[in-house]
Structure 1
Amino acid sequence: MIVHAVSNPESFISTQIAHLKTSGEVSRCFALEYVWRQYYLPSQPEIALIALVAVSNHELHVALSAASTELRDRLSHLDDQVESLAAFADKHELPWLNLSAPLVLEPVYIPKPWGQEIWYTGIEVRGQSSVTAQGHKVPLPWLLSLMPDFLVGGSAEHIILLKILDPLADERYGDLYFEMHEQKQEVYVVTHIDSQAWPDGVGGIRLGFNQHKRSEFTDDAAFKDAYLTAVRDYETVRREIDRQLDQQRLAHDIALDDPVDAATLNAWLSELPQNLLILESEKRAVMHAYTAMQDLQLGDVVKVPCFTPHALQHGVRTVEFQTPVYERKILSFTQKVLTQTHWDTKEALEKISLAIPALPALEEIDSTADAVVERVVTFDDFEVLRIGLAAGSHYYLSACSTYRLLMVISGSLVCYATESSMPSQAKYTHTQHYLSSQAVLLPVSLQQTEWEAGDEGAIVLLAVPTEISRYVGNE
């Protein structure tokens, strides 16, 4: 098999697909090599990638690997049959991906001082999510580089970020940063509340400011000044504690910007002067008195407006959809901030909103005995739907002009992908089974899909870029 050197892999593959349709052939198999810029890494280094491609009348399979002389040599002895390419991919632990079907997303786990984030579509220097099949995986950005229009409509660098926020249940360490965004739009859906942290099942999020406290001041400028003073008083104590804990990090050969587990931190804190810990608790209470806490229960939705500070609380696990931009201003944190050396309280207060946003009421847009579809949120660039399916029910998703992200929140699903966009003409080409917490990318190229809920039913979240018409389902 010849490895074709190309500058635009998608154009080359599209040409082969067009030729197949007019040639009368059953399939076409080939390999290609191209150079791609890894935009998410420092200095954006280029990498040479080799793709094995099998095109048939109804499906497109690929395997992708970093290029090497050894791989080129082995491919030169490979025949151009679909079965041979699939076997080669498996032997070399490469996923044999069907780009005409939902693509299973393999998350990357990002440690945080308050717990962890689990990224399903994360593409940045701190980590990259993957796409998986047959127990093997390939980095998501590599796959998107191969056929960005075919997979996500050309928006490979701006794909919606899907992740889970998984804070510790520990009250001292599990609260997130109290931070504000100027551009990033995000929505949380509560999927778990730790019963030890919140025995009554009601957790919380620190969201906006205490309106009663605000009314005690002559104007908002005075309120902001008082709050800034409270934060700075707390920050002074916080930094002294962090300075002493850093001595422990150094003594245990731990980098100053590495997360440390809660048990170890608690052991270190027990060795600090008690008067310092008492002072920290008192100053923290004064600072927090200016902010507002919103109750959260299982299934609740939080739409976080820009310029509204927020901090998800310990033991409250959420699925988050957000615009893929990294910008924030940290007002405060009850631990050491590991990603920057300063707080942004004063700068944030110059732009911040002092109002408390209400939890949005979900808009019901379709309801039958088998399915209830609700609109969770609509942002400038994407919207999120929640679809509740009865046990054993069937649900159809039409072909779409853009990609979509689907995540199973509870229950299980079976997906039947078809060759046709017309349900009456549907011919199933394959099936896939999905369990709770699994997520898939539905490519632009995907045709009609049918989804069958398991014995316990299913709840799924579906994120859709808003440049297309809203809500297409059960057609």
Structure 2
Amino acid sequence: MLDSAAKSPELISLDILRTKNPEHALEQWLAKSVTPWDCLAVRYEYVQYYLPDSPVIELLAIFQQLEGQTTFTVTALDKLLVDQLTVLGHDCFDLGDFCVAYGFPLLFLDRPMRLEPVAIDKPWGREIWFTGIEQRGQSYVSDGVARSPLPWVLSAAPRRLAAGAERHINLLKILDPLPEEVYGDLYFELHEEKREVYVVTHIDRCAWPEGKGAIRFGFDPEVKAAYSSDEDFRADFLAAVKRYEVVRREIDDLFDRQREALGIDANVPVPASCLQGWFGELPEHLQQQERQLREDMNRFTALLPLSVGNVVKVPLLTPHALQHGVRTVEFQTPVYERRILSFAQKVLTQGHWDTEQAVAMMSLEPPDLPKLTILEEGLGYLLVEVVTFDDFRVWRLTLLPGSGYLVPATGCYGLLMAIDGVVVLGGLHLLMEEAVLLPAERTETLLINQSAKDAVVLIARPT
């Protein structure tokens, strides 16, 4: 609720109020007889909880009524903005013009909001975050021209936009591995808490000429069946990984010398072509040792074939590693935790593997691709359930050309991404791999397929 000063608001400058709770100020303003073009500007301190030491900044949120809807923008506060608002005054203020003049996005409080991603480089390729809120990067909300950081936008009206879950938005991202074998393979890792699901959107034909990629997923049942006990299997797998880790660290130390000589930081990704060149310069016996020990380690594991459209639900404690050239959309809980069993490159984010702990807890049950459940079939559309976890669920919607679907009002935020075709939602045109945030407090919104082929979208929401 508003602080004591804001209950009887302190006039900082014309139409700018100081508050601890911008949404409460918004509710008070909307409860009045707000006339068209009326506006509310509030300044408030915001704790950037996702950055080291949680630095506090002051934000400015401006709301305005436009044709019965509430538009708004959010930005960092500075004196120039305060002075400009003071000069403009209340009667002649147009938030749209103001946003254009200062490069701020004009957003609608109850309409879908376009998400603008941030790319995070990885040793194996890159991740493209649409809802990332952490030290390594923050995603944005955009009106197609200008943008503001996603956490800032959510802070202006967290109940209306996220039903109070503004610090726990599920992470929507794209995994974009390099097409090179080994260098584009992800960590072989497991999770104790993080729930994740992959939807395959592209298979690189240079890497997989027949159009079928793979994920390293659990363990080879035939290899496991040759052991009299799970304990013996775990012990031999651990020993194989440990043997590989010795040669892996020897090579990585040599590569670090190359980095140092070239002035490259020890913990930033290096292009695969560079690593391949360095590997080719190693003594032949070391190259052969690395290949043989990696093969000995990997023979314990299983490769699950993947095609475009396949869904992979990753069970907790199941080791997995998406393979090179397999591009996927991923939905996951916003929890950063993992146990790395092995990696055929240097791990840049931590100085150790977690093999002993991971092997002790890892599941040996053979995972499989989930069966999709049809939820709803109507005139021109098909809605299927991709996955349901304890904390979120994902649907896949297929629309015939020219058909539509009413995206329901659920009372909680949603994430929607176009996978194929061109769709229109709330006035926004979405092409392949473009996404929006669906505000928690919204009405039913019509989604229309405007392409000449079937359109496919993914929709996620918390449970």
Per-residue CA shift, 1:307-335, capped at 9, x if unaligned?
00000000000000000000000000000
1:411-450: CA deviations, max 9, x gaps?
01112x4xxxxxxxxxxxxx22111110000101221211
Q: Distance in 2 between matches of 1:6 and 1:203?
A: 53
1:440 aligns with 2:436: yes
Is the 1:30–1:80 Cα contact (8 Å) retained in structure 2? no
**Deviations for 1:89-113, whole angstroms, at most 9, x for unmatched residues?**
1111111111221000000000000
Residue identity opposite 1:62 in structure 2: F
Q: Residue 82 of structure 1: CA displacement? A: 7.8
Kept in 1: contact 2:15–2:90 (CA 8 A): no
2: distance between equivalents of 1:49 and 1:368?
45
- The residue identity in structure 2 corresponding to 1:94 is F
Counterpart pick for 2:275 among 260, 265, 276: 265
Q: In structure 1, which of residues 9, 14, 25 is the aligned counterpart of residue 22 of structure 2?
A: 9
Q: 1:81 to 1:449 in 2, by over 3 A?
A: farther
Q: What does residue 143 of structure 2 align with?
A: 133
- The answer to whether structure 1 residue 280 and structure 2 residue 299 are counterparts is no
Deviation at 1:272, TM superposition (A): 1.2
The SS at the match of 1:374 is strand
Query: Distance in 2 between the 1:92 and 1:222 partners?
Result: 65
**2:243 is the alignment partner of 1:233:** yes
| TM-aligned CA deviation for residue 293 of structure 1 | 0.8
CA distance in 2, matches of 1:448, 1:412: 20
Q: Supply the distance in 1 between the matched residues of 2:197 and 2:232 (Cα, whole angstroms).
A: 31
1:378 and 2:388 matched: yes
Within-5 A mapping of 1:294-313: 294-313=304-323
Structure 1: distance between partners of 2:91 and 2:177: 48
**Which amino acid in the other structure matches residue 3 of structure 1?**
I
The one of 398, 416, 422 aligned to 1:406:
416
Aligned amino acid, residue 156 of structure 1: E
Distance of 1:263 and 1:253 partners within structure 2: 17
The 3-state SS of whatever aligns with 2:281 is coil
In structure 2, distance between residues paired with 1:247 and 1:381:
45
Once the two structures are overlaid, the 10-residue window that deviates more, 444-453 or 116-125, is: 444-453
Are positions 1:343 and 2:356 aligned together? no
Counterpart secondary structure, 1:76: helix
Q: Distance in 1 between matches of 2:36 and 2:182?
A: 62
Map 1:80-229 → 2, pairs under 5 A: 80=90, 84-229=94-239
Distance across 2 between alignment mates of 1:433 and 1:71:
31
2:401 alignment partner, one of 391, 394, 415: 391
1:153-193 C-alpha deviation (Å, 9 max, x unpaired): 00001011100000000003000000000000000000000
Paired residue for 2:87? 77
Q: Are 1:132 and 1:138, in contact at CA under 8 Å, matched by a contact in 2?
A: yes
Residue deviations 1:219-243 (CA, integer Å, cap 9, x gap)? 1111111001000000001011101
2: distance between equivalents of 1:153 and 1:82?
33
Secondary structure at 1:234 match in 2: helix
Residues 29, 40 of structure 2: 8 Å contact kept: no
8 Å contact kept, 2:178–2:324: yes
Task: Name 2:56's counterpart in structure 1.
Answer: 46
Counterpart position of 1:290: 300
Residues matched between the structures, number: 449
Task: Note the C-alpha offset of 1:59.
Answer: 1.2
What does residue 464 of structure 1 align with? Answer: 461
Q: Is the 8 A contact 1:234 1:280 kept in 2?
A: yes
What does residue 421 of structure 1 align with?
none
Contact kept, 8 Å, 1:78 with 1:84, in 2: the verdict is no
Tell me how far 1:30 sits from its aligned partner.
Answer: 2.2
Which residue number corresponds to residue 428 of structure 1? none
| 8 Å contact from structure 2 (residues 37, 93) kept in 1 | no
CA distance in 2, matches of 1:177, 1:184: 15
Look up the equivalent residue of 2:331 and give its one-letter code: F
Matched with 1:353 is 363
Question: 1:250: which partner in 2?
Answer: 260
SS in structure 1 of the partner of residue 236 of structure 2: helix
Question: How far has the Cα of 1:369 moved from its partner?
Answer: 4.2
Give, in whole Å, the separation in 2 of the partners of 1:75 and 1:167. 47
Moved more, 60-69 or 289-298: 60-69
Residue deviations 1:308-363 (CA, integer Å, cap 9, x gap) = 00000000000000000000000000000000011101001121101111110100
Mapped contact 2:36–2:68 kept (Cα < 8 A):
no
RMSD over aligned Cα, in angstroms?
A: 1.2
Q: CA 1:81–1:460 in structure 2 vs 1: closer, same or farther (change >3 Å)?
A: farther
Q: Is the 8 A contact 1:6 1:34 kept in 2?
A: yes
Percentage identity across aligned positions? 47
The aligned counterpart of 1:470 is none
CA distance in 2, matches of 1:70, 1:27: 22
Q: Offset of 1:27 from its aligned partner?
A: 4.1
Q: Does structure 1 retain, via aligned residues, the 8 Å contact 2:37–2:94?
A: no
Bigger Cα displacement from structure 2, 115-124 vs 264-273: 264-273
| Distance change >3 Å, CA 147–CA 196, structure 1 → 2 | same
The structure-2 alpha-carbon separation of the partners of 1:82 and 1:167, relative to structure 1 and needing over 3 Å to count, comes to farther
Unaligned stretches of 5+ in structure 1? Answer: 418-430, 467-475
Instruction: Give, as a single letter, the amino acid of the residue that structure 2 aligns with 1:456.
Output: K
